[in-house]
Amino acid sequence: MHPHEHNPLGLPPQLPLARYRFDILLEDPLILPEYAGSTLRGVFGHALRRAACMTRQPECHGCMLHDSCPYPRLFAAHGGNGLNRSQQHTPPQAYIIEAPDDGRRHYRPGEHYRFEMVLTGHARHQLPLIAHSFKQAFARGITAARSRGGLAQIAVETPAGWQGIFSGSHIQPHPDTLTLPQHYPDSATLHIRTPLRLQHQGSVLGIHRVRADILLRQLMRRVSSIATLYWQHPIRADFGRLAQAARQVDSRPQLQWHDWTRYSNRQQQAMTLGGLTGHWHLAQLPPAFAQLLYLGQWLHIGKETTFGLGRYHLQNS
């Protein structure tokens, strides 16, 4: 492992980025789809709107409180002027919901159901509202079966492990930043945990079309957009030069295609979404991409990241 310069993107040593774990003690049987990230996002959106909306209008558009309401700002934020045109249409959100990726679908009363959520920027300060929304959603019951549960614990991820921060219905003060490491290796293996959907020229790439430079360029755009919108610290880098450097990375993918189905309430139909899973070894990494890949462990890559797709962890090699 050859350490690189410690901060090639010129980021602050601590970033406003944290991962939380919600622990629900189930009162009823719970049956979930294969990957419940989309389900949890729907639960979150409905409960957050119920908790935050003061006017009870059927639509947010045209509401006189729209600009001050936490619901649209948190759940479906609009792009800022610092983004390019395509990113303004589909800007990254300040949250990512991470359901368990162990394939388990059935839970019994008395068992614990745990899921995680990454919050960045201003969204971290809305943790009490987010927790209240999930608490109310599970109290009412989720899924068509109206499975109920109680919020037993919230924990924050720290370098020393998970730290419980929920006591007596109050969230305790806790660390909510990510400290960047001093060095990054020039090679790493991505262990892709949830389907990775890389889109290029309007289509999602399969095993035979995916390339490391596409992965790295999309990661660069995603992190840059999040830095601009939520960190008040835009990345200062020569993106053209980095895009060229991405083509020189040594890429050894061991990937397979994984399909899964989600139900879209908006479109009122089941949708099959597929993506890449497996391992992807990258070597001869420029320092900037080594740092971006480190951040991607929290921010994910590709399409549908808000409900947890494109999640991976790195193994240095």
Instruction: Transcribe 31-63 into DSSP letters.
Output: E--SS-HHHHHHHHHHHHHHHH-SS--S-STT-
Task: Extract the tokens encoding 78.
Answer: 């609009």
Which CATH number do you get for residue 285? 3.30.70.1900
One domain, residues 229 and 155: no
Report if residue 9 sits inside a domain.
Answer: no
Position 145, amino acid: A
The answer as to whether 263 is a domain residue is yes
Residues 94 and 33 in one domain: yes
Q: Which residues contact 134 (CB under 8 A, 6 or more apart)?
A: 22, 24, 43, 44, 47, 151
58 CB neighbour count, 10 Å cutoff:
7
Q: Does a structural domain hold residue 5?
A: no
Residue 3 lies in a domain: no
Give the mean pLDDT of 212-219.
Answer: 95
Q: Is the pLDDT of residue 277 over 60?
A: yes
pTM of the model: 0.93
Confirm if 149 and 23 have CB atoms less than 8 A apart.
Answer: no
Number of domains composing the chain = 2
The answer to whether position 2 is within a domain reads no
- With respect to residue 45, please indicate whether it lies within any of the assigned structural domains: yes
Looking at the structure, do residues 87 and 203 belong to the same domain, yes or no? no
150 with 250, same domain: the answer is no
pLDDT band at 81 (very low <50, low <70, confident <90, very high): low
Give residue 85's identity as a one-letter amino acid code: R
For residues 274 and 241, state if they share a domain.
yes
Does position 4 have pLDDT exceeding 80, yes or no?
A: no
In a domain, 153, yes or no: yes
Give the end-to-end CA distance of the chain in Å, rounded to a whole number: 7
Domain residue limits at 80 = 17-171
Is residue 24, in this structure, part of any structural domain at all? yes
Helix locations, 117-211, DSSP H: 127-140
Q: Are residues 97 and 136 in the same domain?
A: yes
Same domain assignment for residues 158 and 207:
no
Instruction: Let me know whether 86 and 141 are in one domain.
Output: yes
CATH number for position 94:
3.30.70
Q: What's the confidence (pLDDT) of residue 3? A: 44
Looking at 111, 139, 171, which one is the last position of a domain?
Answer: 171
Lowest mean pLDDT among 29-38, 63-72, 76-85, 121-130: 76-85
Mean pLDDT lowest for which of 146-160, 247-261, 288-302?
247-261
Mean pLDDT confidence for 272-285: 92
Q: Tell me what pLDDT residue 311 has.
A: 97
Residues 260 and 237 in one domain: yes
Contacts of 115 (CB under 8 A, 6+ apart): 21, 22, 36, 40, 97, 98, 99, 100
| Domain stop point among 171, 195, 226 | 171
pLDDT in tens, 56-70: 888 888 899 888 899
Residue 224 confidence (pLDDT) above 90: yes
Q: Show which of 140, 171, 202 is a domain's final residue.
A: 171
For the chain, percent of residues with pLDDT exceeding 90: 73
Residues 118, 228 within the same domain: no
Residues 160 and 190 in one domain: no
Same-domain pairing of 93 and 143? yes
